[in-house]
Structure 1
């Protein structure tokens, strides 16, 4: 899609996060405290990204997951912005910025996918 098409499709906050690699303020996202069962899809293209079974309360202020729904759903890129070295997470289908992944998570993976609510659409389980 062109930049103009993305601007038309997405809200200003979604555009800022997904297309400009922005970040919503901690503890303000609509899914940070969501405990319902269901699936989290990319707000830009609809691809399934995460499932509620992998969501946990990290205390970071953003929705956190231990693993994507499918290992091919997201891609990781080196991010050296803001004077830090981090691993950015993007949607593998539309390349929308989702957040970052850190090696301090619980469970089997030891990963914490720290994802912006603005980058997600939640589909509750029926």
Structure 2
């Protein structure tokens, strides 16, 4: 994975260390910017209230209150948590220009963000995130 210009991850591990901690599928997405197939992720349709964390380092990234049904095959959020929880960078890997979303703590690949698609959300953004990049910690909604 190419480094993020001007940013140093707070969690730094060698490729061997990441491979020891992550499954091959998790490593392929989180560390090699892969994409899981649509409609197979464990969080695509979940309505559980909680906090979504980076599966690689445990950093809190999104809250369930910002998750919405985009019907795209991956979990979608209209906003990450405040601050530098995620980092955005230009991605030209498929011939076009997309905006890649990385964990602000360990710089693992999470997915992509899209704007102007017309979803009825407060930000008009869709953070399209791989389920395998996340871990949901449920919270007591009552």
Same fold (TM over 0.5): yes
In the alignment, structure 1 segments of 5+ residues that lack a partner are none
Structure 2 CA distance, aligned partners of 1:25 and 1:84?
Answer: 20
Aligned to 1:123: 137
Paired with 2:63 and 2:129, the residues of 1 have a C-alpha distance of: 13
Q: Deviations over 1:49-92 (max 9, x none)?
A: 00000000101000000000224100100000111210000001
Quote the Cα distance in structure 2 between the aligned partners of 1:82 and 1:40. 27
* Count of residues in correspondence between the two structures: 126
Per-residue CA distance 1:25-70 (angstroms, 9 max, x = gap): 0001000011010000000000000000000010100000000022
Structure 2 partner of 1:23: 35
Larger Rg: 1 or 2? 2
What secondary structure, in the 3-state scheme, does the structure 2 residue paired with 1:20 have? coil
**What TM-score do you get using the length of structure 1 for normalisation?**
0.97
Please report the RMSD computed on the Cα atoms of aligned residues, expressed in angstroms: 0.8
Structure 1: 4+ residue segments shifted above 4 A: none
